């Protein structure tokens, strides 16, 4: 079974959390699902370097990584994912979608309105349980 290690940014701006929607995908279980932005680590990169690079590439946004939040291990039908999430901040909410089809800035209480990718659900649940 393929194993993928990724990082995800919980980007917070003025108490709102950035949620991005995946594009259509041949894998039904992740197609058009919402997720926290991020991506795969490259050889020699730290998690923090990866997350800053991925957010710059995917959203044309500069972020600051504040602290590691939660590492999720999830088994999808076709692969296993290890996702390291970080609480991050940004100086402004401006972004440009390059890979995703939608984004929303939501209050914590609104996160349950979205159809999340399964690997992101534990992060949503922790955010909700921590006020």
Per-residue pLDDT tens digits for 86-122: 999 999 999 999 999 999 999 999 999 999 999 999 9
Question: CA-to-CA distance for 121 and 23, rounded, in angstroms?
Answer: 18
CA distances from 18 to 12, 34, 39, 58, 104 (A): 6, 10, 15, 13, 6
- How many domains does the structure of the chain reveal? 1
Kindly report the CATH number assigned to the domain that includes residue 68. 3.90.79.10
The rounded mean pLDDT for the chain is: 95
Q: Which domain holds residue 38?
A: 2-129
Per-residue pLDDT tens digits for 28-67: 888 999 999 999 999 999 999 999 999 999 999 999 999 9
């Amino acid at each position: 079974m393929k194993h993928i290690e990724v990082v995800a940014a919980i980007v917070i701006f003025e108490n709102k959390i950035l949620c991005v929607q995946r594009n259509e995908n041949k894998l039904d279980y992740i197609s058009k699902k919402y997720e926290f932005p991020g991506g795969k680590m490259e050889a020699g990169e730290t998690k923090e370097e990866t997350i800053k690079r991925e957010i710059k590439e995917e959203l044309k946004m500069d972020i600051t990584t504040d602290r590691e939040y939660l590492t999720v291990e999830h088994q999808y039908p076709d692969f296993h994912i290890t996702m390291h999430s970080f609480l991050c901040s940004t100086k402004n909410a401006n972004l440009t979608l390059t890979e995703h089809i939608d984004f929303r800035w939501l209050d914590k209480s609104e996160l349950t309105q979205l159809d999340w990718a399964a690997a992101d659900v534990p992060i949503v649940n922790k955010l909700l349980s921590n006020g």
